[in-house]
A and B are shown apart, each in its own frame.
Chain A
Amino acid sequence: MAAIAKAPARPARAGRGVRTRDGWWAGLFLAPQVAFLLVFLVVPLGYAVYLSLVQWDGFGPKTFVGLGNFTAQLTDADFLRAVWNTAKLALITVPVGLVLAVLIAAGLAGIKGSGFYRVLYFMPVVTSSVAVALIWQVILADDDNGVLNSTLRRLGLDGPDWLGDPGWVIVAIAIVTIWSSLGLNVVIFLAGLQTIPPQIVEAARIDGASSARIFRSITLPMLSPTIFFSTVVAVISSFQAFDQIYVLVNPAHNEGARTIVYQVYKLGFKDFQFGMSSAAALILLVLTLLVTLVQFAAQKRFVHYDS
């Protein structure tokens, strides 16, 4: 009886030993990443939270102000304008960019020699954002050198001052953002399209479904997890837009181009108000989290994970 009782204990001990060894190895391999996260994410985030509660100019003593920096930012016209500008940018770039990417990917999936077009669409993604901004500066300039407005003038149309008019600048930024991120979304959607079993599409065709019906009833629902992923990523990157805008326009001279990240940069490194800057950065973090949570809540209704 005792022997029988001991018998199953051996594999259990051996299993624990394996698990312990695996655990050690896993810990060893994960340690650098955990250390990296701690040093470059958790510690700075903690420090940002601390800084958001103080008044500090970068050199002198820090004065505790509680939530004062947050209330100051949330009632500051410049910050609220930056939030609105950021929201406008996301509202234009996310739907327009994704719809274009889905349509292009669906088109490319059905043609021969699509590799050439994939490379073509992907090229802006691997181009430096500064170079992209400089090229678009020339295209969008409202003078004799401005390619777009010169062309419009030849057609008898009067184009707006894309980069100078605060009312139009977000549209200009959105155009550049969509252009430079389109390739990445197209590639993601092409990968998503390849996961759709061809026999389902084939069966629908045999049943007489049109291409539009197949796209609406099969492609889109089965692509919805990819669309959801791309939407989340696109919203986050719109919220974090900065470098391209900074080079393309000059947010200091055009209030229409001031996004939240620019405001964070300005408060910290131009006005030397690190408490305010950290508070603005944390508000951005909370906004991003909230929007992402809403997206995750909404996905239950629109995203189909079953085939």
Chain B
Amino acid sequence: MKRAIALLALMATTAATAACSGSGGGAAPGAAGDDQVVLRWSTWGTADDIKLYDGFTRDFEKRHPNIKLKLESVSDYADYHPKLFTQLTSKTAPDVFFVGDDNIGKFVSSGVLTPLEGLLAGPDSKSRPEDFFEGIYGGAKKDGRIYGVPNDTNPEVLWFDKKALKEAGIGENPADLYAAGQWTMDKYLDMNARLKAAGKAGSIFWNWYGSTYSVINGFGGKVWDGGRFVATTDANARKALQTLAKGYLDKTFLSADVLPESNSASTRFLKHDAGFYAGGRWVIDSLRKGGELDDYDIVPFPSPDGKPMPGAVAASYMAINKDAKNAKAAFTFLTEFVSKEGQLLRLKGGGAVPSIKGAEQVVLDGYPQHAQTFLDVRDTGFANYPDEVAVPGLTAAINDELLKVWTGKVPFDRGMTELQKTVDGMTG
């Protein structure tokens, strides 16, 4: 009898506990409750960046009342991929997630992403494979299969300050020179020298492949060739790196990475202390906060002969977890997120450039004057080299080695030897 009462009590407790957990209203991640699917997705970004997704989320959930989006964000890009990696290995990763262009190769080769080419070409797709520019698939495409869709892009261009150029006695407009086919590396370096002579910095670069490899391209050099890193041995590439190293040391160029926060790259550019600032469409946000918008415009990186050449395009990819609990809902979200309508909704007012064809009007909103340059660079540009992004940590290691040279901690020749050694060591 006592045993029976105890059993009943246990059953009652269990039922009560279950009822309590049910009354919390929160279905387990990814589980369906009342036919509603909770779709987990993740990205990186500050609180302000994350707010940009609110409009899309509201719109999406209104159109798909059976799908509830749950965003799990990480504020710092550097911390995002380690967390995602840990989640993937422990099978707790979100259904859909962003992957940076420096990590996509690793995730593709690890087989943790759902191949998307069939889904993208299928009847439920709002974003077909051919809607995206080939060059920006980068490491997300392997052996004809698509593992990630570029959610948006940021083509690297040179913002120039008309006022600073004028103060340095430079009458020519870089955008006009580009239009006339005269925007050469020689011309650009000459402008930098004149800016320096006028007491200003020539150019400010962030220490990343977008800037460094664009300058190498501008010298006609090669970074990767036949699966081998040749930037330290290719004559033109080495000359480009040497020019950069010399420029950093004599302050013709400034590395944004090491500028103090109170006198950051944006501040220097807004104060007309520099002629050029290499960046993407995100620079608009800084200029809007404190600059005279009309003082600034954009031009692609110069080429050896003035003819247009491919520029670097920063990209990130949206991918679906191979173990996604709600694969169908995950694809619905992904395809709408990267679709023309989705990008138009997300990218209004600045930040990034659409990765999909047909959403160009979001960029051509009147600012900057040569905003079409963003689209030209995107359409012909390249994401980081697949050989490089396939090796986790390689891009960061290259940047680390180069920063030592830029800051003068290591002499140029030794820096190149160490850079090659690092790359060889990591690529095997």
Which segment of B240-248, B253-261, B275-283, B369-377 sits at the interface? B253-261
The answer to the question of B72 belonging to the interface, with a C-beta cut-off of 8 Å to chain A, is no
The 8 A CB mask of B399-423 against A (1 = contact, 0 = none) is 0100100000100000000000000
- Contact with B392, one of A143, A166, A270 (Cβ below 8 angstroms): A270
How many Å lie between the Cα of A253 and that of B78 in the bound state? 11
**Residue ID in chain A nearest B422 by CB atoms:** A78
B300 to chain A, nearest CB (A): 28
How many of chain B's residues touch chain A, expressed as a range?
Answer: 20 to 34
Given A252-B78, A271-B392; A145-B262 close (CB under 8 Å): yes
Residues of chain A lying within 8 A (CB to CB) of residue B106:
57, 272
Chain B 261-273 interface mask (CB, 8 Å, partner A; 1/0): 1110000000000
Distance between Cα atoms of A287 and B3 in the complex (Å): 57
A255 to B410, CA, bound (A): 13
Q: Which residue of A lies closest to B426 (CB)?
A: A271
Known: A57-B392, A270-B393, A270-B396. A143 touches B260 (CB 8 A): yes
| Residue A25 lies at the interface, judged by CB distance under 8 Å to chain B | no
Q: Nearest-CB distance from A281 to chain B (Å)?
A: 15
A246 to chain B, nearest CB (A): 9
Decide: A59 near B110, CB < 8 A? Known: A143-B262, A164-B258, A271-B392. Answer: yes
Whole-angstrom CA separation of A284 from B151 in the bound complex: 41
* A142 to B264 alpha-carbon distance, docked (Å): 12
Contact between B89 and A58, CB atoms less than 8 A apart: yes
B22 within 8 Å of A by Cβ? no
| Residues of chain B with a CB closer than 8 A to A142's CB | 260
Q: Does B65 have its Cβ within 8 Å of any Cβ on chain A?
A: no
Residue of A nearest to B89 (CB): A58
Within the complex, the shortest CB–CB distance from A58 to chain B, in Å, comes to 6
B46 at the A interface (CB under 8 A) = no
Give me the interface of B with A, judged by CB distance under 8 Å. Answer: 78, 81-82, 85-86, 88-89, 106, 109-112, 257-258, 260-263, 392-393, 396, 400, 403, 409, 426
Confirm or deny: A148 has a beta carbon within 8 angstroms of a beta carbon on chain B. no
Q: Assess whether A269 is in contact with B86, with CB atoms less than 8 Å apart.
A: yes
Chain B residues whose CB sits within 8 angstroms of the CB of A253 once the complex forms? 257-258, 403
B85 in complex: contacting residue of A58, A144, A166, A250, CB < 8 Å: A58
A60 within 8 A of B: yes
Chain B residues whose C-beta falls within 8 Å of the C-beta of A252 in the assembled complex: 78, 396, 400
- Asked if A58 and B261 make an inter-chain contact with CB atoms under 8 angstroms apart, the answer reads no
A159 to chain B, nearest CB (A): 13
Residue on B with the closest CB to A72?
B425
User: What residues of chain A lie closer than 8 Å to B110, measured between beta carbons?
Assistant: 57-60
Q: Please determine whether B82 and A269 come into contact, CB atoms closer than 8 angstroms.
A: yes
Return chain B residues, CB-CB under 8 Å to A250. 78
Q: Which 4 A-B pairs have the closest CB atoms?
A: A143-B262, A269-B82, A271-B393, A59-B110
Chain B residues positioned under 8 Å from A58 (CB to CB): 85, 89, 110
Q: What residues on B are CB-neighbors of A59 within 8 Å?
A: 88-89, 110-112
Asked if A282 is at the interface of the complex by the 8 Å CB criterion, the answer is no
A236 at the interface (CB under 8 A from B): no
B415 to chain A, nearest CB (A): 14
Cβ contacts under 8 Å, A255 to chain B: 400
In the assembled complex, the Cα of A272 lies from the Cα of B106 at a distance in Å of 9
The residue of chain A having its C-beta at the shortest distance from the C-beta of B263 within the complex is A143
Does A141 belong to the interface (CB within 8 Å)? yes
Measured CB to CB, the nearest residue on chain B to A247 is B76
**Can you name the residue of chain B whose Cβ is closest to the Cβ of A268?**
B82
| Interface residues in A141-197 (C-beta closer than 8 Å to B) | 141-145, 161, 164, 166
A272–B400 contact, CB under 8 A? no
Considering the chains assembled together, what is the distance between the CA atoms of A269 and B409 in angstroms?
27
**14 residue pairs A–B, Cβ–Cβ below 8 Å:** A57-B392, A59-B110, A59-B112, A141-B262, A143-B261, A252-B396, A253-B258, A253-B403, A266-B393, A269-B85, A269-B86, A271-B426, A272-B85, A272-B393
For chain A, residues 244 to 260, give those with C-beta under 8 angstroms from any C-beta of chain B: 250, 252-253, 255
A141 contact from B258, B260, B400, Cβ within 8 A: B260
Q: Which of B89, B261, B426 contacts A145 (CB 8 A)?
A: B261
Complex-state Cα separation, A118 to B258, whole angstroms: 40
**Residues of B with C-beta under 8 A to A166:** 409
A145 to B264, CA, bound (A): 13
Closest to A274 in B: B89
Measured CB to CB, the nearest residue on chain A to B262 is A143
A residues near B82, Cβ cutoff 8 Å: 265, 269-270
- Give complex CA distance A142, B106 in Å: 37
B262: chain A residues at CB < 8 Å are: 141, 143-145
For the complex with contacts A57-B110, A58-B85, A272-B392, 18 further pairs of A-B residues with Cβ separation under 8 Å are A57-B106, A59-B88, A59-B89, A59-B110, A60-B109, A142-B260, A143-B260, A143-B263, A144-B262, A145-B261, A161-B260, A164-B258, A252-B396, A253-B257, A269-B86, A270-B78, A270-B82, A272-B106
A242 CB to nearest chain B CB (Å): 13
Cβ-closest chain A residue relative to B82: A269
A12 vs B104: C-alpha distance when bound (angstroms)? 72
In angstroms, Cα B86 to Cα A270, docked, is: 11
Partner of B261, one of A141, A265, A269, A272: A141
Nearest chain B residue, comparing its CB with the CB of A267:
B393
Query: Closest residue of chain A to B397, judged by CB?
Result: A271
Nearest Cβ on chain B to A157's Cβ, whole angstroms: 18
B139 to chain A, nearest CB (A): 14
Please, which residues of chain B bring their CB within 8 A of the CB of A271? 392-393, 426
CB distance from B426 to the nearest CB of A (A): 8
How far does the alpha carbon of A60 sit from the alpha carbon of B86 in the complex, in Å? 14
Docked complex Cα distance between A253 and B85 (Å): 22
Question: Complex formed: what's the CA distance from A255 to B403 in Å?
Answer: 11
Q: Which residues of A contact B89 (CB under 8 A)?
A: 58-59
- Kindly report which residue of chain B lies nearest to residue A59, judged by CB atoms: B110
A278 to chain B, nearest CB (A): 14
Cα-based distance from A172 to B6 in the complex (angstroms): 62
Closest to A253 in B: B257
Residue of B nearest to A58 (CB): B89
Q: Which residue, of B81, B82, B86, B111, has the highest number of chain A Cβ atoms within 10 A?
A: B82
Q: Which residue of A lies closest to B106 (CB)?
A: A272
A144–B393 Cα distance when bound, in Å, is 34
Closest to A145 in B: B262
The residues of A that contact B426 with a CB separation of less than 8 Å are: 271
CB distance from A140 to the nearest CB of B (A): 12
Which residues of the other chain, B, contact A270 by a CB distance below 8 angstroms? 78, 81-82, 392-393, 396
C-alpha spacing A269/B111, complex, angstroms: 17
For residue A143, which residues in chain B have a CB less than 8 angstroms away from its CB?
260-263
